[in-house]
Chains A and B, each alone.
Chain A
Amino acid sequence: MAFREISAWIMVLALLLGGAFYARAVAELSAGLGELAPPALPLVVVYTILLVAVAVVGHIAASVVAYRDAGAPADERDRRIATRASHLSSYVLGVGVVTSLGVYLLSPRGDLLFYLVFASLMLSNLAEYALQILFYRRAV
């Protein structure tokens, strides 16, 4: 397995863990308040730290396992895969943001808008790395 594919798996794992942590924390806060909890900066900071920590530890472990490929620059196939995955995942973000704006027009709640846009960003990132894995495994 190419180092960059391993890297994509690590990022998928990091995003899933981070997303699960964030969703659970918001759900617990909201349950305590009896309504949708407002976005909190500390939660976003912890989410970011968790994401970075899993990514860094995962990449260090991957570098040990696939030490030959770890430092190699991206070649033409890597670049093509990254470009295609990034292009397609941008649609996820676009659709998510437009949908969020539509929801805001129907129900003008800033907190909900934040969560929907943030979720779109998470899903877009997740889609990008999942597509990279797919493209590494099939014809591209």
Chain B
Amino acid sequence: MGRPSPLGNRVRELREERGMTQAELGEAIGVTRQTVAAIEQNRYSPSLESAFRIARLFERGVEDVFYWSGS
């Protein structure tokens, strides 16, 4: 619904690899479960700080988790 974010991400894939729930990931990076769901569905582009927190949690670089998918 609505215009998707031009930022793509692998958050869902990486979260599921680690067996984490959206609520657990949200708690780990300081956002709500709904915000994690919105990030995974490309309905919300996280702040740079949250993007780094997610990447650090998954022990990846930011560019391994987030990528530009817009034109």
Contacts and interface: CB of A to CB of B under 8 A. Distances in A.
Contacts, number: 39
Interface of B: 1-5, 30-32, 34-35, 38, 42-44, 46-47, 50
B3 A78 contact: no
Contact of A78 (B4, B5, B32): B32
A139 B32 contact: no
A76 interface: yes
Interface string A117-138: 0000000000000000000111
Contacts of B31: 75-77
A140 interface: yes
A75 B44 contact: no
Interface residues of A, number: 12
Contacts of A137: 1-2
Contacts of B43: 138-140
Interface in A36-71: 69
Contacts of A76: 31, 35, 46-47, 50
A72 B32 CA distance: 8
Given A136-B34, A138-B1, A138-B3, 15 more contacts: A69-B32, A69-B34, A72-B32, A75-B31, A75-B32, A76-B31, A76-B35, A76-B50, A77-B44, A78-B35, A138-B2, A139-B1, A139-B2, A139-B4, A139-B5
Contacts of B38: 77
A139 B1 CA distance: 7
A103 interface: no
